[in-house]
Structure 1
Amino acid sequence: MAYKERLNRLQQSIKTMARGDQAVLAVTNWTVNGSSREGAAMVRDFSRLMLRAYNAEADNCVRNVKPHRVAAMVDRLAKVRATIARLGKTMDIQIAGSYHEARVMEIRLTADYLGKVEEEKERVRAERERQREEERARRDFEREKARLAKEQAHYQSALAKLQASGSTAGVEELQQKLEELADAIAGVDARDANVRAGYVYVISNLGAFGPDMVKIGMTRRLEPQDRIRELGDASVPFRFDTHALIFSEDAVGLESRLHAALAEHRVNQVNTQREFFYATPAEVRAVLERIAGQHLLEYREMPEALEWRASGARTSRGNAPDRAVEPSVPAATMPPVAPPAVTA
């Protein structure tokens, strides 16, 4: 990794500066008991002591730095340098500016490196989650195709028996049913083949996150509510409420457009894998109508939050419910628009 290589080179340079007496500045014309050699030894010993104290603090800053604490650590090290300059004023002992800048750069690079490592971990985690979700969707498609194939075989057998008996009653109805099943199987095959097709969902969790936060994601599942139920597992105290389900042949692109439109409202501005946004369902609806349009299956602005309400609608340890969390926008729905048929 480029950051790691830069950090290693910088740390090697810091060691070279310290060993080459380039880390500390001090006067050299001191004498002790009339001996300039003893005076130089005293200055050298004090310089090493001061450098050791400075390096101990610098090392501590590097060990404990986090991306959000860089400024605090840099300021802390600057104060240590100023303290050393004050204590060593008599012999004009101070940490060299170039050495201090190198150690500050070490703090910054370490924070950047840790940030990149965390980003990579999150990327790997997100990719594993995507693969797991894709595998679940694949199993959904296989189960649905198996169910449809079994039903198709049943109607084909019934049709064959009617035709063998010479009876025409019910033949047309069976043939129509077989055509519908063939279309349904073709629809599932098309969904399975198109890795971008799926549902974009808008959900909220009033009891966990309050009225001004939503999550916008996508799933390829045949039944999108399965994914939403999984998100409301033990990691949150209440289940999510669904505000919108949008089927699209390019759900990946639709999700990206929605995220881009709400980018300024993103809760986590560092990790874009976290799909939460500071917005009310009513605010998101306006964006959806502009971007999703006729693809909108349904929209509900008022979250039911049944578990939260049944639990007392509390937003803190107190017993009284917080009335401010009740959405003020009246419930509204749009007429459902059915997605392409994938089942009989």
Structure 2
Amino acid sequence: MDGYVFNPAPGWPAQPPGWEPPEGWQPGPDWPKPPAGWVFWIPASAASSPSSPFAPNAPLPPRGQPAPTLPVAVPTGAPPPVAPVAEPAAAGQLVAAPAEIARLVSRVAELENELRQLAAAPTRVQSTDGLVDLDDERVLQEVGIYRYHHPLETSQEYRDRLQEIQDRIKGGIKGGTAVLASDMFTFNNSLAKGRRMTSDYSKLMLRAYNGEADTCVRSLRAGNVVTAKKRLEASADVIARLGAMMEMRINPDYHRIRVEEIELTADFLMKVQEEKEKARDERERLREERKAEQELAAERERLDKEHAHYLNALQAVSASGDQGAVAEITARLVAIDAAIKHNDFRAANIRAGYVYVISNTGAFGPNVVKIGMTRRLEPMDRVRELGDASVPFPFDVHALFFSADAVTLEMELHHAFHAVRLNHINDRREFFFAAPSAVRIVLAEKVGNLLEFAEAVEATQYLQSKKYWPAPSN
């Protein structure tokens, strides 16, 4: 061929100068595979250069068609699949470098689009250890309990650590160490142009990677950290595969920083959620205490008025000489004094109160009980509050037991049934998988004889409503 010479792929046996493959010739089966789109026919003027043609996206044209438009470059990545051997029919014309750069920029846009499609991929991606499930709900079910990747005490400590991570990310970007690539890549037989192209490609690839990392962080919830890490890992793998020609890849140290950012963000979200729940529980506890204090204060005021009323009545009947009335009023005053003493004891002792055992079969199913305590003067008010709006049916009360140290008694009961908690994350959720009879046995061991404990479950509204429910669909 005038003006063109055969260009064997890397690793192929050397051929004599001017050798051309005969018609129908195929490389040996044990020869290494050439890079995708390898240019087998190059201008004779470029044959003396150590460079090899840059692999195009489209396959080479067969004989009789114009030569492909290709720059001259040095491939440094691992060889992809074999491309067909073809030759140009006549001396082709190489397109100027600006046109080739435009084509490469267009190719980068396609690669960025591929990365975006990967980010919005379905629920599975392929990894070295098999199919990775990206279904957030299934991941949560399989994990069960959230484990902190970087345990810290408060959300503010996580904010400080995340700020340090942001500084390290900025340092990696400004220092140019976030992306690794070969500095020996040539473009149009020019090492300087090749390095400029590598630099531009590196910026584009880093932009795509950082966009994916930022998306993973923004879409994080406490339970989908596994999904985010796998997605970012897949993006780094795609960049390494597409940038193999230039030995381009995300710096593993930079990738670890972004993964640590995802883990810290997930930990931060979980810690914030825990702190909100603790604050909500504390507000509920304070409201309960204020209500109890208000009720006790109102009860003391009522007892004082009643005591004064009976004192006046006692003076009146004493003057009349009615001994029967005097004895009756005196007994009433003794009862009022005892009530005042008990009320003052409860007001002074914040640990005194009622321990209650309640259940709600319609809401939680059979053999699920709630064990709690209240300092309310009327403990049933608290039980009715629990069943007013949060559940469809009222609670059944199995026990209301007054204790001078209700806080300790409640804690001991919780400890006894800790293994069968419904919620093992938040101890303020006081529901347990236990039959009322099992709670009665433990409660009797703690306080002795129980005068009143109802083991039977009434669930009146639930049983009356169940017959009107629609039949379950298969």
Pair 1:6 & 2:146 matched: no
Q: Which one has the largest radius of gyration?
A: 2
3-state SS of 1:298 partner:
coil
Give the Å deviation of 1:154.
2.2
Pair 1:318 & 2:466 matched: no
Aligned to 2:459: 305
3-state SS of 1:274 partner:
coil
Counterpart of 2:417, as a letter, is L
Please provide the CA RMSD for this pair: 1.9
Q: How does 1:53-64 map to 2 (within 5 A)?
A: 53-64=208-219
Conserved 8 A contact 1:244-1:297: no
Give the Å deviation of 1:134.
1.2
| Cα distance between partner residues in 2 of 1:292 and 1:20 | 70
Structure with higher RCO (Cα < 8 A, 6+ apart): 1
Give the Å deviation of 1:258.
1.6
Pair 1:98 & 2:233 matched: no
Counterpart of 1:176, as a letter, is A
Pair 1:239 & 2:394 matched: yes
Pair 1:43 & 2:209 matched: no
Please, which runs of 5 or more residues in structure 2 have no aligned partner?
Answer: 1-155
Aligned to 1:262: 417
Label 1:62 to 1:137 Cα distance change in 2 as closer, same or farther (>3 A): same
Label 1:109 to 1:192 Cα distance change in 2 as closer, same or farther (>3 A): same
Pair 1:214 & 2:369 matched: yes
Pair 1:188 & 2:346 matched: no
Aligned to 1:160: 315
Pair 1:202 & 2:360 matched: no
TM-score, normalised by the number of residues in structure 1: 0.87
3-state SS of 1:170 partner:
helix
Give the Å deviation of 1:219.
0.5
More helix by share: 1
Pair 1:84 & 2:243 matched: no
3-state SS of 1:247 partner:
strand
Counterpart of 2:325, as a letter, is G
Counterpart of 1:29, as a letter, is M
Conserved 8 A contact 1:22-1:96: yes
Counterpart of 1:25, as a letter, is L
Give the Å deviation of 1:261.
2.0
Please, which runs of 5 or more residues in structure 1 have no aligned partner?
Answer: 321-344
| Cα distance between partner residues in 1 of 2:447 and 2:379 | 17
Aligned to 2:274: 119
Kindly provide the CA deviation profile for residues 104-148 of structure 1, in whole angstroms up to 9, marking residues without a partner as x.
111111111111111111122111111111121122212222222
Aligned residue among 64, 70, 76 for 2:225: 70
TM-score, normalised by the number of residues in structure 2: 0.64
| Cα distance between partner residues in 2 of 1:184 and 1:166 | 28
Give the Å deviation of 1:18.
1.5
| Cα distance between partner residues in 2 of 1:4 and 1:248 | 44
Identity of aligned residues (%): 51
Q: How does 1:128-167 map to 2 (within 5 A)?
A: 128-167=283-322
| Cα distance between partner residues in 1 of 2:451 and 2:226 | 48
| Cα distance between partner residues in 1 of 2:321 and 2:208 | 102
Aligned residues: 318
Counterpart of 1:318, as a letter, is A
Aligned to 1:282: 437
Give the Å deviation of 1:188.
0.6
Give the Å deviation of 1:166.
4.2
